[in-house]
Amino acid sequence: MPTPATDAHVRLDTHPIHPSAVTATVTGPRPHLARALLTARGFEAVNEHTLVMARIDHEEPYWAEKAAQAMTADGITTEINPRLREAIDEEWTWANYPMPWCSRDEIREVSSEAQKIYDDIRRGRLIIHAHADDSGTMVAVGTYPDSGKSVYLHGENHLRQVADTYDSLAQALTAFERLHGDTMRPGPAPLTDTERHAADARTTLVTPAAHPAPAAQKPEIVPAYAADPGDHDSILDLFLAAHGDWEKWRTWSDDTTHAIHEAQTLRIEHVHEAHPRDTAWTVAAYETPVSERMWHLTATGATPAPVLQTLLHHLAHEESWGTAIGGAVDEQAVTAATRPLTDAGWKHTVDGRWIRWTNLAGDAGVQFDAFVAQTRHSTLATWTVWAGPSIDHPTWTLTASPNTPSSLLADLTEDLAHGTGTRQPSAARTARARLSSTPPSIPPATVSHTSSRIR
């Protein structure tokens, strides 16, 4: 016999500030059953009508769907916002997960146990007496007052586990001091960033009021290499939306998006919110899905939008990246890659192993390392494309390995020589101020900081 319907209505949605958290808005004349079911499923009340689920494993969409199914079974009308539905259906991977042998369900079991420990600590059911740094991993010792059982905890956030149990507090503290006396500190460890974000999500529902925006300044037309970075996330989303032969997913921490071509021989990794000088993009090409990498390319977070769009446009055509240059990079390949710069009158110099092309203003250039180009499996960059005060103080850089197709490099140098973009005047001043106070990031022999997740 079906459960009689209640008068409550529940709307589940993503949190307005913390994207992985989930809100539940309860309306109707008799909301008590719905609130009780939501509380039992991990939601916490913020006000009379709103509850929030904020976990340390970023699995809120999964558990929110489970809560919706339970409420529907009890006759409660439940609505899932399309944004939350997209998050529920989205695939992601656990980047650098220390237990790669676990299945997705097993990983979820581990994180759920960690969530229980976290909830017990913040609700006072587990009292932490001391913590210590064990070679970069946080450990702690605590006691459950209700049972008197003491536990040794290993790890933080979604990886925290009970590593050992003790019959008495004295026994637990003695063992903990013997293991970690040098780094032992009283009380619980400071909150992690994940724990702070979860706590904030449970108390803050309204986006802070923004200060009145200054009058919009008209963007200026500038060379492509001096343009603003724009919104890299949107650039990637538009590229993937326009090319259905690519598939994407985001990591569990929601800080990285991976995209793989259906041929599985070209892969893109984009790190969201990367520092302007850090690697934000990694492109890697393979001869077959299981072969060694043929070539790779990286770009920093401040790479201008026009340059990034040129790169993605080239990657959209499989025939242009399906075959890399064979063997060492020869003079013909170098000439083909840099012809746009030569035609535009860029200054050409040779300094030992380095061949450089620099524009007349001296604020953009390309460097070719002839030594690395002849060295197999080198970790250094053969090509460095840069713009800024100098190659030693760049605003942004793009590096490429040996065997990077000369047609791709020619597209990029054509953009440097003749392309244009837009820049807000204030952004240019901010960039100059930031560069004047930031130490050099790369020497002339540029190391290619390729992400370890694309191999």
Domains belonging to the chain, first-starting first, are: 9-90 (3.30.70), 104-200 (no CATH), 222-436 (no CATH)
Is the pLDDT at 334 greater than 90? The verdict is: yes
Q: What is the mean pLDDT of the chain?
A: 84
**DSSP at 413:** H
b or e along 236-274 (b: 16 or more beta carbons within 10 Å of the residue's beta carbon)?
Answer: beebbeeeeebebebbbbeebbbbbbeeebbbbbbbbeb
Give the model's pLDDT for residue 328.
56
CA-wise closest residue to 71 among 28, 111, 113, 14 = 28
Give the model's pLDDT for residue 216.
58
Q: Which burial class, exposed, middle or buried, applies to 282 when counting CB atoms under 10 A from its CB (0-12, 13-18, 19+)?
A: buried
Mean pLDDT, residues 228-238 taken together: 91
Is the pLDDT at 220 greater than 90? The verdict is: no
Is the pLDDT at 310 greater than 60? The verdict is: yes
More confident position, 142 or 325: 142
Give the model's pLDDT for residue 320.
57
Give the model's pLDDT for residue 411.
93
Give the model's pLDDT for residue 311.
94
What share of the chain has pLDDT > 90, as a percent? 53
| pTM (predicted TM-score) | 0.50
Place of tokens 């934000």: 280
Is the pLDDT at 449 greater than 50? The verdict is: no
348 pLDDT band, cuts 50/70/90, is very high
Give the model's pLDDT for residue 441.
36
Is the pLDDT at 429 greater than 50? The verdict is: no
CA-wise closest residue to 453 among 187, 239, 232, 253 = 253
Is the pLDDT at 444 greater than 70? The verdict is: no
376 pLDDT band, cuts 50/70/90, is low
438 pLDDT band, cuts 50/70/90, is very low
Each residue of 4-26: pLDDT tens digit? 445 789 999 999 888 789 999 99
Mean pLDDT, residues 199-204 taken together: 86
